[in-house]
Amino acid sequence: NAGVTQTPKFQVLKTGQSMTLQCAQDMNHNSMYWYRQDPGMGLRLIYYSASEGTTDKGEVPNGYNVSRLNKREFSLRLESAAPSQTSVYFCAILRVGEAFFGQGTRLTVV
Amino acid sequence: ILNVEQSPQSLHVQEGDSTNFTCSFPSSNFYALHWYRWETAKSPEALFVMTLNGDEKKKGRISATLNTKEGYSYLYIKGSQPEDSATYLCALNTGTASKLTFGTGTRLQVTL
């Protein structure tokens, strides 16, 4: 979606490797979110940030860390990837009560 | 953890059929209820954002209703078409700066 840019689009990691998923928005909005999508489980919230400098845990935060670098950027870090973290990850913002999503990152941990 | 439930989990209809799905949510601390349409390999796209009890919204052949007192919303599709095939997600927002909690979705498949 225009306005929310997520990188990379695809990534394969070995168990134990680390990586950071980047999300940037040019819509100047406060709330940013990281979700993961797994078959049969919809979108589950990992972490969210209501405003610059604040972050809160969502439903499934274990194994992840986040950083709200500034109003524009919200990154998700896997310190030591595990196969259970194989998923599709979406960054999103809330704008006028409506969520706008990035294109997703398909992550495979082998 | 908020419990947002959707039913059915999946649905298979023929072209021309009308159909509806349900989203159930806790009625306390309600701020807004969202519906999204999610096609495979794409990002979810917003259909409706509903805030008031009794709200009814319509976009083409798709409409939605909201009952905040009893904690449910219905999504209706009239005269389903193959291009309606997607997963339909509802999401509960409990405040202006709060997280958006999604249901697990209803996967709709429309065949000729």
Q: What is the pLDDT of residues A2-28, one digit of tens each?
A: 589 999 999 999 999 999 999 999 988
- Condensed to tens digits (0 to 9), the pLDDT of residues B78-107 reads 999 999 999 999 999 887 666 788 999 999
| Cβ pair A58:B99 closer than 8 A | yes
Q: What is the mean pLDDT of chain B?
A: 92
Cα angle B43, A53, A8 (rounded to 5 degrees) comes to 35
pLDDT band at A42 (very low <50, low <70, confident <90, very high): confident
The alpha-carbon gap from B26 to the nearest alpha carbon of chain A, in Å, equals 16
Strands A10-13 and A105-109: parallel
What distance in Å separates the CA atoms of residue B111 and residue A75, rounded to the nearest whole number? 40
Instruction: Among A33, A40, A102, select the one facing B43 at the smallest CB separation.
Output: A102
Nearest CA in chain B to A56: B99
Would residue B5 be called left, alpha or beta, if left means φ above 0 and alpha means ψ between -120 and 50 degrees?
beta
